[in-house]
Amino acid sequence: MKGIGVLISGGGTNLQAVMDAVDQGSIPAGINLVLSDRPGAYGLIRARKRGIPAYCINRKHFKDSGAFNRALLKKLKEYQVDYIVLAGYLSILSPELVEAYRNKIINVHPSLIPAFCGMGRYGDKVHKAVLEYGVKITGATVHFVDEGADTGPIIFQKHVEVLPDDTVETLSKRVLDAEHELLPRAVALLVQDRIRVCGRKVIIEERGSK
């Protein structure tokens, strides 16, 4: 069975959605490892409750980002991780790590990329920017990870209407619901080798098409 590594920085609700999908059999793979870059991340507790190995690799304990990412890569290899899922992970992966898992790393972002994304745009900061700009539609995006910030090929997107009386809290809840829907679907396709990348386009292979 293929092994998934999930990287988190916070509460881990997207991790929970992936764990539930694994338990239900809709993702035909196991979660071999959960890693966090923050020691207080509640997602680590979620994983340990399921009996999944979960560790914090705190970037503050490393002299530079290169050393930090090498420690990540070493742990991922140790636990025989085939695919990486970024589920609310706030650190940037090194080119070395991205190359080691080329087209095998996916991320979920709380906007319709390429809008409201890139360096410094994460979590509630995204929703605050959406509301300040006054757009009528936002949403969630699952995409492959490359060497940039939110620049990899897009796998799935789902739009979420911005309501006139929305706050950051109300909008973030609806966008998070969209993330919880999209991310397990994308992970399932990824581990079944049903996603093909052609330049910037992502093609979903039908079952039995190969």
DSSP bridge pairs for 197:
202
| Amino acid code (one letter) for 177 | D
What fold is seen in the domain 3-204?
Rossmann fold (3.40.50)
Phi and psi at residue 139, in whole multiples of 5°? 160, -155
For residue 209, the model assigns a pLDDT of 53
For residue 208, the model assigns a pLDDT of 56
DSSP bridge pairs for 156:
142
Of the residues 61, 109, 127, 159, only one is catalytic, namely 109
* Site of tokens 């052609």: 198
Residues 6+ positions from 148 with CB-CB distance below 8 Å:
none
Burial class of 46 by CB neighbour count within 10 A (0 to 12, 13 to 18, 19+): buried
Full-model pTM: 0.95
For residue 206, the model assigns a pLDDT of 84
Q: Find the radius of gyration of the CA atoms of the chain.
A: 17
| Amino acid code (one letter) for 204 | I
Active site residue 109: yes
For residue 207, the model assigns a pLDDT of 75
| Amino acid code (one letter) for 35 | L
Residues 6+ positions from 85 with CB-CB distance below 8 Å:
4, 5, 6, 7, 18, 105, 106, 107, 183, 187
Residues of the chain with pLDDT under 70: 208-210
- CA 29 to chain CA mean position, Å: 16
